[in-house]
Amino acid sequence: MAEPPIDGPDQRARLAAWLSARLGAPVTIGAMARMSGGAIQENWRLHLDVGGAASELVLRTDAASVVAASAGREEEFRVLAHAYRAGITVPEPIGFCADRSVIGRPFSVARRIHGVADARRLTREEALIPDHEALGEALGAELARIHAIRPPVADLDVLPRPAGVPALARIALYRGWLDALAHPQPAIEWALRRLELRAPAAEIVTLVHGDYRTGNLMIDAGRLTAVLDWEFAAWGDPVEDIGWFCARCWRFARPDREGGGLASRAAFYRGYEREAGRTIPAAAVPFWEAMATLRWAIIALQQGERYRADATPTLEPAMTGRLAPQLVLDALEQVDALAPLAETADAR
């Protein structure tokens, strides 16, 4: 069932009243427009008058199509608020509202950050990034700062913690996603089993962003201005984020730039290791890159099924669903290329 519209006159009036109470000044909503993207979440740009001063905020709420393991808006807002207090480069959080009487669904609001997040533009338009290697180092350093957050953290007690080896917990999660699909996926099952036999132990457990990639990073004049989209945050193996960022499926127009299509892998690693004060366990990264491709393949299959089942289908999940076959082929190649590792008796 489609969610109700949130930009009607009644919803605007109630939203303005909620924002007035939150910001401590009278608020008038001058314009409200849905932003591009958002297959999983809807983002709305709000142009406001706040006590006579112009302001821009971003309202974030669930889209009609959701993805397994995506956190609710309240959990995501709590992670964002903690990251902001920890000095991570994120938009300033303004507030979260669980009261459906305001706009018809829960939502969060944060300060709007300027820049470009569009991955296709960032990997095609060279003028947007004057120094790719400097940006790669900065992105590596920023991820290391995220990974400096380690459990226990009272503010983040809502986040799941893996029982045992984080990689094996992820594999179990992905198998659950596969079981929920309408059709069997033997190629993915085979790849997951091969990865299960090679699952690396985590050196440490940290906060994992879960979707740290080109497309979720706001860039302005070649500088990082915000890390966006925290709905997949969890406690886990930090190498998962490194593999996700470097995975081929997230390099877009520049597969030759292994650092997210934006920079060299070496620059990204350099910035990370300098900030973290430790060496990336490079042998584990190919495992997590293969896991990234499989995860994205399963999400594509989920989105394709939602498109076919939805009474009011939208283009985004349909386009995502079409990616699945190529992603599965890429994942099989990546799994096949993994160096042979000792297979434990328990895993067998």
Q: What is the pLDDT of residue 124?
A: 98
Q: What was the pLDDT predicted at 317?
A: 85
Residue scoring higher pLDDT (157 or 121): 121
* DSSP assignments along 189-241, one per residue: HHHHHHHHTTPPPPS--EEE-S--STTSEEEETTEEEEE---TT-EEE-THHH
pLDDT classification of 267: cutoffs 50, 70, 90: very high
pLDDT (tens digit, 9 = 90+) per residue, 289-319? 999 999 999 999 999 998 888 755 678 888 9
| Model pLDDT, residue 348 | 42
In which band, very low, low, confident or very high, does the pLDDT at 160 lie, cut at 50, 70 and 90? confident
Q: Is residue 344 pLDDT above 50, yes or no?
A: no
Report the length, in residues, of the chain. Answer: 348
Per-residue pLDDT of 112-142, as tens digits, reads 999 999 999 999 999 999 999 999 999 999 9
The pLDDT of 17-24, averaged and rounded, is: 97
Q: Which of the four CATH numbers 3.30.450.20, 3.30.200.20, 1.10.287.3510, 3.40.50.720 does domain 12-111 have?
A: 3.30.200.20
Structure confidence at residue 88 (pLDDT): 98
Please tell me what DSSP assigns to residue 108: E
> Boundaries of CATH 3.90.1200.10 in the chain?
119-337
Q: For the chain, where do the domains classified as CATH 3.30.200.20 start and end?
A: 12-111
Instruction: Provide the pLDDT confidence category of residue 41 given band limits of 50, 70 and 90.
Output: confident
Count of CB atoms within 10 A of residue 1's CB?
7
The secondary structure element, H or E, covering residue 161 is: none
Rounded mean pLDDT, 264-273: 98
Percent of the chain with pLDDT over 70: 92
Q: Tell me the torsion sign for CA atoms 127, 84, 291, 177.
A: negative
Question: What pTM, to 2 d.p., does this model score?
Answer: 0.93
Q: What pLDDT does 50 receive? A: 97
- Any idea which fold 119-337 has? Aminoglycoside 3'-phosphotransferase; Chain: A, domain 2 (3.90.1200)
- On the question of pLDDT at 186 being above 90, the answer is yes
Q: Express as a percent the part of the chain with pLDDT over 90.
A: 83
pLDDT-derived band of residue 67, with 50, 70 and 90 as boundaries?
low
Quick check: 346 pLDDT over 90?
no
